[in-house]
Each structure stands twice: as C-alpha cells, then as structure tokens.
Amino acid sequence: MRVILELIRIIFLFVIIGGICASILEHVYSAMGIDSNKYGWSSISVFILFFVLFRNKLQFSGWYKGKGKIRLPKKVSQILIVSVIVLLIFPAILSFIKN
C-alpha cells in the first residue's frame, strides 16, 4: 500500500506541480516576447530540477520505507542544476540573437 501511495505522490509532484511550473515558465517567456513553442524543450528543465529535488530531499519524506533511497552524488546534482540554468537562459539568448 505504501508503494502505491508513493507512486501517486510522485505522479502528483511531477505531472501536476511540474506541469504548472512549466506553464508558468511558458507565460514568462511569452511576456518577454519569446515564442515558447519554438523552445518547448526548455520546459524539460523544470522536470530535471524536480528530479534533483526529489532524489535529494523529497524521497526521504514519503511513505516508502524500503531500500535504495540514496541521494544523487554531489557532482551529478551540480551538473544537472547547471544544465537547468543553461536550459532556462538559452531560449532568451537564442531569441535575442535571432532578432
């Protein structure tokens, strides 16, 4: 039962909250005059950030109490966070260069 509850929690976090954050990101891009349809891959950065947050913090506060709950290595976390920042800034840079 705990595994099912944990799966529902993961789905809620990634799909619902991640989707809302990706939607907010698209609105921010459109307010800046950036066509978010061209750079839809930048929404992936939200899900990468949630993955890092989940693996380093949120997995330890859930219902699942089994084995295999380890944090991401520090270097992997840093690489993923830097890639998130690059993915968030890259559409603005590309839009600036094209215009």
Total domains in the chain come to 1
**What Cα–Cα distance (Å) separates residue 74 from each residue in 7, 18, 21, 67, 77?**
25, 23, 25, 20, 5
Nearest Cα residue to 92 out of 48, 32, 24? 32
Nearest Cα residue to 87 out of 40, 24, 18, 51? 40
User: Which domain, by its residues, includes 92?
Assistant: 2-98
pTM as predicted: 0.78
The neighbour count for residue 57, using CB atoms within 10 Å, is 10
Q: Give residue 35's region: left, alpha or beta (phi > 0; psi -120 to 50).
A: beta
User: What is the percentage of the chain residues whose pLDDT exceeds 70?
Assistant: 93
Q: Span 2-16, mean pLDDT? A: 83
pLDDT at residue 1 is higher than 70:
yes
pLDDT at residue 9 is higher than 70:
yes
- pLDDT one-digit tens code per residue, 35-76: 777 777 777 888 899 889 888 887 777 666 667 678 889 999
Q: What is the pLDDT of residue 6?
A: 78
